[in-house]
Structures are given as C-alpha cells and as structure tokens.
C-alpha cells in the first residue's frame, strides 16, 4: 500500500510541476503538413521521409524528419516565445506529462482531404490529426482533471499549416481524378468548406486561440517549375491563381467563423505574400537564388528531393528553397519573425505574440 501511495504522490508532483512551468507559457498544438512536420512520418509507412542527411545539416538535432536544413517555421515561432520545440505526436516519448506543453501532429503529404497525398502511400490527413488531438484532449483530462484540462486547452495556441498538398499532391498531379471531377472554383469551395468544418471540430474540442496560415505561391516552388516546364524559372501563373483563389475564399470563411465560434480568436497568417515578395525582391531579404532548391536534382533541383548522397549548396542562407518544396532555415526564420511579431500585412487581426497574451 505504501508503494502505491508513493507512486501516486510522485505522479501528482510531476503534474503539479508541469502545470507550474506552463503558467506563463500556453501549450502549442500544431496541425499540418511537411512544412511543419517534426518527424511524425518517421513512424509510419510512407515515401515522404526526411530523417536522413543532408536534411538537418544545420539543425542542432540533425536529421529528425524535418524537411529542411534546419528549423521549420513552427520551430522558430516557439523559440521566439522562449519555449521548447513541440514534440511529434507519434514519438514514443510524447506520453504522460510530456504532452502538457503541446504536441505536433503534422505529417508530410497530409492534406485537408483524406485522398490527398496518396501518391506517397502513408500520410496523416488533417481528419486523422484531429482524431489524434481528441485522444490528447482525453489524456489532458486524465492528467489535469476535466476543469484543469478545459482551462489549459482554452489558453493553448493552435496552428494550422495545411493545404499545399491538396494542390501539388492531388489536384495538380498528372492524370488527377480530382481535377477531372472539379473545376478549380469547385475544388476551391470543396477545400474551404471542409477546412471550415475541421477548424470548427477543433473549436468543439476546446481550442479558442487558432492561427491559420494560408498557402504560399506554389507556382514558384522548384517542383512546379520543373513539372510545368518553366523556361526561365519564372513562376507558373495558373497555379498561383488557384492558390490565390483558395486563400481569398479561406480568408472570407475565417471571417464568418469568427462570428459563429463564440469566444474564439481566429488569426490569418499571410504566407503567400510574405514568400512571393521574397521571389520578386530577393535582395531585400539577403537571397540570391529563389527558383531552385539548395538540395535536389533535375531541372531547378526540383525533380528529385534531397536524398542521401546529394550535396547541398554551400550558401544555404542565400537560397529561398531547401529542396523542391520547402523553405530553408534562413527563410523560415524570416517568416517566423513576421508571424510572431509582425504587422497586419503579415498576420491579422493580431500576431502570435499578441494571441498568446490574450486571456
């Protein structure tokens, strides 16, 4: 009996300590795709993996499964808040009191639609990520009690970085069944309505402070420059038109949700304009190469991803793209700073720092 009491007492102490450490720092929950995947895809059967060098060449932990030479934009944001990197949900160490600081459910090739990313075989769709979060909600209740869990989850910050794969690994694929089924405007509406349902589901699980980041200029990424046979490395306009249509519709939908999800604060991060300005004004950001990957192979280094044996560029801080799809660490730092403390042209109606300070 004494031993049972000792174990229970130790668990209570651990929970109390974890709660105390988080009083001034809300938990962070991240849902999304490879732009913010910290290594969830290491634990599933998928072709979308990056847990090998030269990925992570500039990251303190090495090749963790991040699709970058260094940090993701989510890593940068939490660092600016003086918080630790958010652990991958599927990491076996993400259990017990370790989850109280938040979890990252993001998965490379994942999308708003369940069908997105099937060309990579395994991936965690946004619907599946929400199911994982529901389990996390239950674990919070077990650790903190129902009232304590509700309070912690309502103060937490939630980040959605999703939607890119619904185009590049679904609608824009050669022979895409989705593209035959929907016009671009119909597909845009399908995505936005489904995404709104998913945001609402997260709200119903207890989320109140939610940041949604729009889709960047996919017509400018090396993979699309290669696939669409850009002659001179200029962006593919029709793809950017698709993305801009989606982003406009998403912004309007978030305005609607802000009026119906009582007590919530919905923040809209303008990834598109921030990245596109780097494409057209690279010198302003210390960049010299904006239309090819630092690590890859083929036209614009956009046809083969950053695999073992490839030698990345030496001047990585001067490249916009690390590989055929993802920004470099240097660019993620710039984006993270804009989202964390930038003005209304970068993120609105408040930035992440302000969002975290709301009661």
Alpha-carbon distance of 270 to 254, in angstroms, equals 13
pTM higher than 0.75:
yes
Whether pLDDT at 20 is above 80:
no
Express each pLDDT in 268-321 by its tens digit: 999 999 999 999 999 999 999 999 999 999 999 999 999 999 999 999 999 999
Given the residues 34, 50, 125, 223, the one annotated as active site: 34
pLDDT of amino acid 305: 97
Whether pLDDT at 21 is above 80:
no
* Token output for 84: 């630790």
pLDDT of amino acid 1: 33
Whether pLDDT at 109 is above 60:
yes
**What is the helix, strand, coil percentage profile of the chain, to 5?**
50, 10, 40
Given the residues 37, 91, 323, 329, the one annotated as active site: 323
- Looking at the structure of the chain, the number of domains it has is 1
Whole-number Cα distances in Å, 262 to 137, 168, 193, 200, 352 = 20, 34, 19, 11, 20
Mean of the pLDDT values across residues 127-156? 98
Express each pLDDT in 50-82 by its tens digit: 999 999 999 999 999 999 999 999 999 999 999
High-pLDDT (> 70) share of the chain, %:
93
Whether pLDDT at 169 is above 50:
yes
pLDDT of amino acid 22: 41
- Is residue 323 annotated as a catalytic residue, yes or no? yes
High-pLDDT (> 90) share of the chain, %:
93
Given the residues 164, 166, 326, 329, the one annotated as active site: 326
Q: What is the chain's Cα-based Rg?
A: 20
Q: Which residues pair with 348 in a beta bridge?
A: 268
Domain extent for 6: 2-357
- Is residue 37 annotated as a catalytic residue, yes or no? no
Query: Which of the residue ranges 13-17, 112-116, 263-267, 304-308 would you say has the lowest mean pLDDT?
Result: 13-17
Give the domain CATH number at 96: 3.40.50.1110
pLDDT of amino acid 25: 81
Supply the mean pLDDT for the chain.
Answer: 94
Query: pLDDT-derived band of residue 15, with 50, 70 and 90 as boundaries?
Result: very low
pLDDT of amino acid 12: 41
- Is residue 34 annotated as a catalytic residue, yes or no? yes
Q: Which residues pair with 213 in a beta bridge?
A: 161, 269
């Amino acid at each position: 009996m004494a031993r049972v009491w000792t174990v229970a007492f130790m668990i209570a102490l651990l929970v109390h300590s974890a709660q105390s450490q988080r009083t001034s720092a809300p938990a962070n929950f991240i849902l999304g795709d490879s732009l913010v995947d910290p290594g969830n895809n290491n634990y599933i059967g998928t072709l979308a993996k990056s847990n090998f060098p030269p990925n992570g060449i500039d990251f303190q932990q090495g090749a963790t499964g991040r699709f970058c030479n260094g940090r993701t934009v989510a890593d940068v944001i939490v660092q600016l808040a003086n918080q630790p990197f958010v652990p991958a949900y599927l990491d076996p160490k993400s259990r017990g009191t370790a989850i109280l600081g938040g979890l990252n459910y993001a998965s490379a090739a994942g999308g708003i639609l369940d069908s997105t990313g099937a060309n990579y075989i395994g991936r965690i769709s946004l619907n599946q990520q929400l199911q994982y979060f529901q389990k996390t909600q239950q674990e919070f209740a077990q650790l903190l009690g129902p009232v304590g869990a509700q309070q912690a989850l309502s103060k937490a910050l939630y980040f959605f970085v999703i939607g890119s794969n619904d185009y590049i690994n679904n609608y824009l694929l050669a022979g895409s069944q989705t593209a035959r089924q929907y016009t671009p405007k119909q597909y845009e509406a399908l995505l936005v309505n489904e995404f709104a349902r998913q945001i609402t589901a997260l709200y119903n699980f207890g989320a109140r402070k939610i940041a949604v980041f729009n889709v960047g200029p996919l017509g400018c990424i090396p993979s699309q420059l290669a696939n669409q046979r850009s002659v001179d490395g200029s962006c593919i306009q029709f793809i950017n038109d698709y993305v801009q249509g989606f982003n406009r519709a998403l912004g309007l939908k978030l305005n609607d949700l802000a009026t119906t999800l009582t007590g919530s604060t919905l923040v809209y991060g303008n990834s598109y304009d921030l990245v596109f300005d780097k494409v057209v004004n690279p010198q302003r950001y210390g960049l010299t190469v904006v239309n090819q990957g630092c690590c890859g192979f083929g036209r614009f280094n956009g046809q083969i991803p950053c695999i073992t044996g490839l030698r990345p560029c030496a001047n990585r801080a001067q490249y916009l793209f690390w590989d055929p799809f993802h920004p470099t660490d240097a660019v993620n730092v710039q984006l993270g700073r804009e989202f964390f403390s930038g003005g209304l042209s970068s993120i609105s109606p408040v930035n992440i720092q302000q969002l975290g300070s709301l009661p």
